[in-house]
């Protein structure tokens, strides 16, 4: 089992599931983004999803767009991503998955990217605009290095495509809760529950739900049927509004949803 | 045969680099399109619209007074500017709108740069009784204000996009985000031969009528094929449309003219093939303008329709196999050609199309008076009067106030 799978399995064995927290590198500045990621872990986040700012983030809503644009305007370079992974893993044990659109990896060189990520202590990649069908180079590089590769599964995916996402993913499958882009939502879609059920049928033992989750109650609800809950925009908003202290509080509030409280909500 | 390429890849270009959420919609579209292609009912419907709504076939016009400035070569314009709504864009829009209707979609969304594609989409939405949202970079809503008004008059909602470079590339990002969220009832009517499969192939096929008509028309007029076919290249739809019928005519040279803005060696240009390198943008692998980290670089052109840091994957492939050549034309070269065609022939071209005219002037001087050059005049210049008026100081100081 990979480190990410091990963490998820341990949280499940304890009667709950994993909390995955997203923050972009370089927002509001490199050092603060590192401190904020460390604060996530210190406040109950199990797995870090570290986003690399990209000029054309088509999966992201306004909150993450604003943060990553600010990071780019402030001079974010890909090298900072590896620096951040190394700096965070020197301070906390949680596995770090890097979330990146595909072109930066392609330009850096898929094999070189994999090698440098591994050397920095990273656990793998989440690739929002790379489907397994187009991923031959990354499948080979991740097999060679043992890095995790998280592909997406959507409510609109056919059963055959869900099976493919499950088979090709390592670490977990990213179940997109709703047809839409990142951003907090009052209701995490019923579609998420149905999607996770379909992923189970497709053989998944490690499915995390993301997009729209912003409260501890939603985390608890999701962990009632999924193996992990992924939170992004809510953390980025907290960091934008109140700095590291605020993001630490937000993480703690979300982590309250991972505390096993007897029987799951089902 | 080069004409038989069906995607999803053109050599190493093309493909589908999109969020998983969109794959089902792309598959649905691909299936519907593949069926429609050989469905006589669909083809008849489209042909009927071309004949009774768009005004096809568009004519060709030989322009001898302009040609004096192009080395004396015979220059023949394919008049896509005379189509309803003023450019080639309507060919693709009507095809896709018919498909959207077949798929039961009730809402059309589109990106637009110059506004011509947005106007064409708003037009089709009005014609078919669909709702319509057009994403347009804020910079473009300012420089193409007339087209914003046209779209609104046609009943479309125009959303000014304020992120990134606030031009066409960012409008596409927002349209993709809208599509992910609303794919059940919405068709994304992409306006050029870029994007994920099946868009590059499908959009090309809806435009290939340009070259098919022009090839016959030039044969009828001159008794032979042209020596060269020229077009401007933004995303590349009008160029693919006129190139396609000639791809397997080895004696016909194909030239695409990219926007070089202030010069392709400056930092202010949109010369994607000339200055870019392969990468992934907006769902496909192709040439693009990017920095060493793979971040998209903002493009610059006086022409909103060419102000795009990417290009369709089929052009990337035609470039790499040497079948077509892509050359840069500056803002000023294009504007001079715009004024020249206006004054010598009484035809005011779109600034986009003026890039093809400027390229043709240089090409004609190289090829000489024996040559026949077919130019795709992709659109008319009405939308550009604000820009041209400022460029050539055509407005009276008093009236400008
Ligand atoms: C008249 C005209 N020509 C050309 C273009 C560029 O698009 P393409 O390269 O897809 O033909 C546009 C786009 O707005 C246009 O309006």
Domain CATH for A45: 3.20.20.70
pLDDT for the residue A63: 96
pLDDT one-digit tens code per residue, B295-319: 999 999 999 999 999 999 999 999 9
Does A97 score more than 70 pLDDT? yes
Distance CA A1, CA B367 (A): 67
How far apart are the CA of B378 and the centre of ligand 1, in A?
Answer: 7
Distance CA B210, CA B79 (A): 9
Does B239 score more than 60 pLDDT? yes
The burial of B175, by beta-carbon neighbours within 10 Å (0-12 exposed, 13-18 middle, 19 or more buried), is given as buried
Q: DSSP letters along B344-363, please?
A: HHS--B-HHHHHHHHHHHHH
In a domain, A182, yes or no: yes
Distance CA A5, CA B45 (A): 55
pLDDT for the residue A265: 43
Q: What integer is the mean pLDDT of B15-22?
A: 97
Distance CA B35, CA B38 (A): 6
Residue ranges of domains in chain B: 18-51+89-203, 56-86+207-391
pLDDT for the residue A261: 59
Catalytic site residue from A60, A116, A148, A221: A60
In a domain, A7, yes or no: yes
Q: Taking each helix axis as running N to C, give the angle between helix B40-49 and helix B89-102, from 0 to 180 degrees, rounded to the nearest 10.
A: 140
Strand, coil or helix: what is A47?
A: strand
**Backbone torsions φ then ψ of A141, nearest 5 degrees:** -65, -35
- Kindly give, in sequence order, each residue whose CB lies less than 8 Å from that of residue B111, ignoring residues fewer than 6 positions away: B117, B118, B134, B135, B136, B168, B171, B172, B174, B175, B190, B191
pLDDT one-digit tens code per residue, A29-47: 999 999 999 999 999 999 9
Mutate to test the interface with A, among B22, B286, B291, B295 (most CBs of A within 10 A): B295
Number of domains in chain A: 1
Mutate to test the pocket of ligand 1, among B112, B232, B299, B315 (most ligand atoms within 8 A of CB): B232
pLDDT for the residue B398: 64
- Pick the range with the lowest mean pLDDT from B90-99, B159-168, B310-319: B159-168
Provide the CATH topology of domain B18-51+89-203: Rossmann fold (3.40.50)
CB A214 within 8 A of CB A234: yes
Contact A156 B25 (CB under 8 A): yes
- Kindly give, in sequence order, each residue whose CB lies less than 8 Å from that of residue B256, ignoring residues fewer than 6 positions away: B230, B231, B232, B233, B236, B239, B243, B273, B315, B324, B325, B326, B327
Residue A45's Cβ-side half-sphere holds a number of Cα atoms within 13 Å equal to 29
Distance CA A73, CA A82 (A): 19
**Average model confidence (pLDDT) across chain B:** 97
pLDDT for the residue B260: 98
pLDDT for the residue B168: 92
Looking at domain B56-86+207-391, which of 1.10.3720.10, 3.40.50.1100, 3.20.20.10, 1.20.120.1200 is its CATH number?
A: 3.40.50.1100
Does A141 score more than 60 pLDDT? yes
Distance CA A39, CA A22 (A): 12
The domain of A196 spans 3-257
**Residue with structure tokens 């009784």?**
B129
CB-closest option in B16, B164, B292 to A55: B164
Q: What integer is the mean pLDDT of B114-139?
A: 96
ipTM exceeding 0.85, yes/no: yes
What ligand 1 atom has the least distance to the C-alpha of B203?
10
Cα B159 from chain centroid (whole Å): 21
pLDDT one-digit tens code per residue, A8-33: 999 999 999 999 999 999 999 999 99
In a domain, A153, yes or no: yes
Share of chain A above pLDDT 90, in %: 91
How far apart are the CA of B167 and the centre of ligand 1, in A?
Answer: 14
pLDDT for the residue B165: 81
pLDDT one-digit tens code per residue, A210-263: 999 999 999 999 999 999 999 999 999 999 999 999 999 999 999 999 997 554
Q: Which of B33, B308, B8, B36 is nearest to B187 (CA)?
A: B33
CB B93 within 8 A of CB B117: yes
How far apart are the CA of B306 and the centre of ligand 1, in A?
Answer: 6
In a domain, A106, yes or no: yes
Residue A20's Cβ-side half-sphere holds a number of Cα atoms within 13 Å equal to 33
β partners of residue B77 = B61, B375
Is A49 among the catalytic positions?
yes
pLDDT one-digit tens code per residue, A144-199: 999 999 999 999 999 999 999 999 999 999 999 988 888 888 778 789 999 999 99
For residue B286, list chain A residues with Cβ-Cβ distance below 8 A.
Answer: none
**Average model confidence (pLDDT) across chain A:** 95
Which chain B residue has the Cα nearest residue A58? Answer: B173
Is A134 among the catalytic positions?
no
């Amino acid at each position: 089992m990979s480190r990410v799978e091990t963490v998820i399995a341990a949280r499940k064995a304890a009667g709950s599931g994993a909390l995955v927290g997203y923050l972009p590198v370089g927002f509001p500045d490199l050092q603060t983004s590192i401190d904020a990621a460390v604060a996530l872990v210190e406040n109950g986040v199990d797995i870090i999803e570290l986003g690399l700012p990209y000029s054309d983030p088509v999966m992201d809503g306004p909150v993450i767009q604003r943060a990553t644009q600010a990071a780019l305007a402030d001079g974010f370079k890909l090298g900072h991503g590896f620096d951040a992974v190394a700096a965070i893993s020197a301070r906390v044990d949680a596995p770090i998955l890097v979330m990146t659109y595909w072109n930066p990896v392609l330009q850096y060189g898929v094999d070189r990217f994999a090698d440098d990520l591994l050397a920095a202590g990273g656990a793998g990649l989440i690739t929002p605009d790379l489907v397994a069908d187009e991923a031959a180079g990354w499948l080979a590089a991740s097999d060679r290095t043992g890095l995790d590769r998280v592909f997406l599964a959507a409510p609109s995916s056919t059963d055959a495509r869900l099976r493919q996402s499950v088979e090709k993913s390592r670490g977990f499958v990213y179940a997109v809760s709703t047809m839409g882009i990142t951003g907090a939502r009052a209701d995490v879609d019923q579609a998420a529950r149905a999607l996770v059920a379909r992923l189970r049928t497709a053989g998944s033992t490690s499915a995390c739900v993301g997009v729209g989750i912003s409260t501890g109650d939603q985390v608890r609800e999701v962990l009632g049927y999924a193996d992990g809950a992924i939170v992004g925009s809510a953390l980025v908003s907290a960091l934008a509004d109140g700095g590291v202290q605020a993001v630490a509080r937000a993480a703690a509030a979300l982590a309250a949803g991972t505390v096993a409280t007897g029987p799951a909500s089902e | 045969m080069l004409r038989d390429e069906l995607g999803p890849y053109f050599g190493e270009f093309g493909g589908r680099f999109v969020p998983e959420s969109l794959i089902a919609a792309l598959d649905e579209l691909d299936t519907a399109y593949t069926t429609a292609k050989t469905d006589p009912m669909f083809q008849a419907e489209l042909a009927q619209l071309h004949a009774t709504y768009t005004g096809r076939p568009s004519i060709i016009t030989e322009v001898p007074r302009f040609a004096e400035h192009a080395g004396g070569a015979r220059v023949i314009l394919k008049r896509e500017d005379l189509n309803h709504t003023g450019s080639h864009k309507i060919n693709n829009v009507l095809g896709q709108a018919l498909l959207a209707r077949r798929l039961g979609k009730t809402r059309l969304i589109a990106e637009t740069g110059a506004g011509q594609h947005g106007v064409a989409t708003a037009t089709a939405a009005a014609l078919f009784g669909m709702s319509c949202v057009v994403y347009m970079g804020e910079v473009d809503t300012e420089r193409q204000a007339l087209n914003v008004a046209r779209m609104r008059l046609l009943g479309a909602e125009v959303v000014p996009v304020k992120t990134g470079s606030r031009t066409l590339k960012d409008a596409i990002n927002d349209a993709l985000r809208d599509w992910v969220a609303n794919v059940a009832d919405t068709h994304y009517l992409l306006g050029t031969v870029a994007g994920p499969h099946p868009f590059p192939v499908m959009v090309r096929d809806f435009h290939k009528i340009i070259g098919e008509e022009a090839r016959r028309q030039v044969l009828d007029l001159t008794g032979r094929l042209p020596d060269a076919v020229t077009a401007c290249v933004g995303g590349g739809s009008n160029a693919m449309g006129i190139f396609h019928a000639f791809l397997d005519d080895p004696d016909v040279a194909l030239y695409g003219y990219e926007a070089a803005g202030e010069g392709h060696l400056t930092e202010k240009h949109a010369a994607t093939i000339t200055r870019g390198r392969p990468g992934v943008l907006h769902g496909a692998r192709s040439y693009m303008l990017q920095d060493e980290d793979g971040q998209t670089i903002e493009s610059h052109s006086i022409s909103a329709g060419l102000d795009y840091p990417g290009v369709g994957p089929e052009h990337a492939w035609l470039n790499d196999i040497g079948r077509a050549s892509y050359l840069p034309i500056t803002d000023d070269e294009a504007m001079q050609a715009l004024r020249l065609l206006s004054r010598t022939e009484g035809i005011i071209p779109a600034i986009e199309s003026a890039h093809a005219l400027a390229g043709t002037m240089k090409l004609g001087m190289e090829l000489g008076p024996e040559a026949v050059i077919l130019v795709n005049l992709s659109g008319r210049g009405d939308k550009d009067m604000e820009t041209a008026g400022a460029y050539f100081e055509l407005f009276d100081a008093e009236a400008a106030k």
